[in-house]
Amino acid sequence: MKLTPIYITDLCVYPSEFRPLLSGAKLYDSSCSPEAKVIFIDKDGGYFLKSAPKGTLEREAAMTQYFYGKGLSANVLAFIKDEYDWLLTEKIHGDDCTAEKYLDNPERLCDTLAERLAMLHATDYIGCPVQNHTERYLSKAAQNKMRGSYDTNLFTDNWGYRSAEEAWSVVEEHGHLLQADTLLHGDYCLPNIILDDWAFNGFIDLDSGGVGDRHVDLFWATWTLFFNLKTDKYRQRFIDAYGRDRVDKDMLRLVSAIEVFG
Q: Which residues are catalytic?
A: 187
| Separation CA 31–CA 27 (nearest Å) | 12
How far, in whole angstroms, is CA 27 from its chain's centroid? 24
> Which of 106, 104, 74, 73 shows the shortest CA–CA distance to 89?
74
Please list the residues that pair with 204 across neighbouring strands.
Answer: none
CA distance 217 to 239: 12
Sequence-separated (6 or more) residues with CB below 8 Å from residue 33 = none
DSSP state of 91: P
Residues β-bridged to residue 95 = 195
